[in-house]
Amino acid sequence: MSERAPAIVIIGSGFAGLGMAIQLKKANFHDFVVLEKSKGLGGTWHDNTYPGCACDVPSHMYSFSFELNPHWSRMFAPQPEIRDYMERTADKYGVRDHIRFDSAVESAEYDDAAKRWNVTLSDGTVFTPKAVVSGIGALHIPSFPDLPGMETFQGTAFHSAEWNHDYDLTGKRVAVIGTGASAIQFVPRVAKQAASLTLFQRTPPWIQPKPDRSIPAPVRAAFAKVPGAARAFRASIYWTLEARAVGFTIDPRLSVPMEKLARWHINRQIKDPELRAKVTPDYTIGCKRVLLSNDYYPALARPNVEVETSSIAEIREHSIVTEDGREYEVDCIIYGTGFKVTDALAEQRIVGRDGLKIQEAFANGIEVYRGTTIPGFPNLFMLLGPNTGLGHNSVVFMIETQIQHVLSCLRLIQDKGADAIEPKPEALRSFNDKMHRRLRRAVWSEGGCQSWYLDENGVNRTLWPGHTFEFWASTRKAKEEDYTLSY
Ligand SMILES: Cc1cc2nc3c(=O)[nH]c(=O)nc-3n(C[C@H](O)[C@H](O)[C@H](O)COP(=O)(O)OP(=O)(O)OC[C@H]3O[C@@H](n4cnc5c(N)ncnc54)[C@H](O)[C@@H]3O)c2cc1C
Ligand SMILES: NC(=O)c1ccc[n+]([C@@H]2O[C@H](COP(=O)([O-])OP(=O)(O)OC[C@H]3O[C@@H](n4cnc5c(N)ncnc54)[C@H](OP(=O)(O)O)[C@@H]3O)[C@@H](O)[C@H]2O)c1
């Protein structure tokens, strides 16, 4: 393999990039390189090291189907264990040598004459593969709010995905902005350390009890030794989680028992009626990601924690001022404010056939055939692309399905002796029209909340609107009639 002209470039080494690399190896294909901007592999599980970071889909399901791990220590493994699993898996399948770290891709441009992509790194290096698989993830660019005076703050400030482990929070006056999936995991830990914690909440999340426990050694031994035990357990988790999609996608009224459980959780863990009222959402459950936690509400009830619901008006050198005029002196601000999602894709420098910029292709909204391929962009494949995210199950399942789709496209090219493949515009139209009809009546649009699932026009460009087995059944094998091959 020539390092600069591999047949395939994969961008990213999270679950998506890693899974793609492994499946290529398993297909006995070795002419590829993985370009990763970080210094290590794992994506989400490399970057997010905040205290309490863990998955919220049970680990036996939140892992590769071809690499079951009978040794998960807990139902919801902590971040270091997930990162180690990914490292081990990369080594086992021999893909580490294919990964080039510190390699941030700046642009990808299709060369019509050569029928190859020019993939350019920030250091100017150019790779010229026949195909590009983008596994860049949706949650890796930290989003900071645009608050007046932010830059004047003289204390320590950092984002949850860029945790400052050198800063000792012990005895400090800490402000946390945001109450999403990340914040609810680190707030209980920070509350125990800090002198005071002020939590700035814009919208309360719905939170259910987390069925988390350590997995006893004999059970782990059984998963390792009894044939089929780990797979049967995974299947039981899969179907339990799939049941949640019914309420989210068919009729939100079917989620009433979920909402009752969440209300019971608040009432059981918080006694103060004022705090109860503050943390009780006023939108339909499922509209934002439903969170799981056993220690978040007890942390909010601690005497050193205050939940502030008035909006932030201004940040000063040593304080945060709210719209209702209260001023909080703080030493540190932690931004638990999430990631840039839908706008990140539109900002990319990707140029397809005939000089078509991705922004032009997305002029009427981000639309990608089966979240994977785009007309005008030959041999470009996206993993966990638009509308393949989930609110109810493991996205690793979706990623693996898309990887099968990519492999079947590559096989089509090979079998037909073609140079390139791209989806037909009419296939994209029909796929998207059907999907958006379903999305319009789903809880994410109808549930009365704002979320990062929706773009600036309120259109859901993020989630898959149905069961994951529907996506698997319709997507894992590319349909030849939906694609154009060029020779
Ligand atoms: C804290 C946290 C917890 C989560 N927990 C769950 C969970 O429990 N269940 C669930 O289903 N989902 C969860 N998610 C969502 C999670 O992002 C996905 O499950 C999954 O990890 C996505 O994998 P990925 O490979 O698509 O993306 P990522 O893991 O984000 O990997 C993308 C990789 O691409 C690299 N990259 C990006 N741009 C470039 C570039 N231009 N050049 C080179 N490299 C680039 C990045 O550095 C990164 O390594 C969680 C997300 C977060 C942030
Ligand atoms: N496995 C897990 O447990 C886990 C852990 C972390 C992350 N994740 C994944 O990663 C995604 C992102 O999670 P995240 O918690 O990092 O981000 P997030 O869910 O987008 O939450 C961001 C939080 O910041 C708040 N916020 C944003 N701007 C604000 C402002 N200007 N003022 C006040 N508050 C502001 C948001 O309030 P609003 O709600 O009002 O917008 C929200 O509470 C999740 O949806 C999930 O998919 C999963």
Look up the pTM and report it.
Answer: 0.95
Closest by CA position to 475, among listed 391, 353, 415, 387: 387
Q: What is the pLDDT of residue 343?
A: 64
Which ligand is the nearest neighbour of the Cα of 184?
2
Among 202, 241, 312, the mutation site with the greatest number of ligand 2 atoms within 8 A of its Cβ is: 202
Sheet holding 8-11, edge to edge: 99-100, 32-35, 8-11, 131-134, 380-382
**Ligand 1 centre from 269 Cα, in Å?**
32
Question: Any alpha helices (H) in 282-363, and if so which ranges?
Answer: 296-300, 342-346, 358-361
DSSP 450: -
In sequence order, what are the residues at sequence separation of 6 or more whose Cβ sits closer than 8 angstroms to the Cβ of residue 226?
none
Residue 459 has pLDDT above 90, yes or no: no
Q: How confident is the model at residue 438 (pLDDT cuts 50, 70, 90)?
A: confident
Among 139, 210, 340, the mutation site with the greatest number of ligand 1 atoms within 8 A of its Cβ is: 139
pLDDT, tens only, 203-256: 999 999 999 999 999 999 999 999 999 999 999 999 999 988 887 777 777 778
**Ligand 1 centre from 456 Cα, in Å?**
23
Q: What residue ranges define each of the domains in the chain, with the CATH number in brackets?
A: 8-141+340-486 (3.50.50.60), 150-213+221-335 (3.50.50.60)
Paired strand residues for 387: none
Report the percent of the chain where pLDDT is more than 70.
Answer: 98
Q: What is the average pLDDT score of the chain?
A: 94
Instruction: Kindly state the average pLDDT of the residues 33-62.
Output: 97
CB of 37 closer than 6 angstroms to any ligand 1 atom: yes
Q: Whose CA is nearest to atom 25 of ligand 2?
A: 178
**Ligand 1 centre from 138 Cα, in Å?**
6
Q: What Rg value do the Cα atoms of the chain yield, rounded?
A: 23
pLDDT, tens only, 179-200: 999 999 999 999 999 999 999 9
Q: What is the pLDDT of residue 115?
A: 94
Tokens found for residue 256: 């009433």
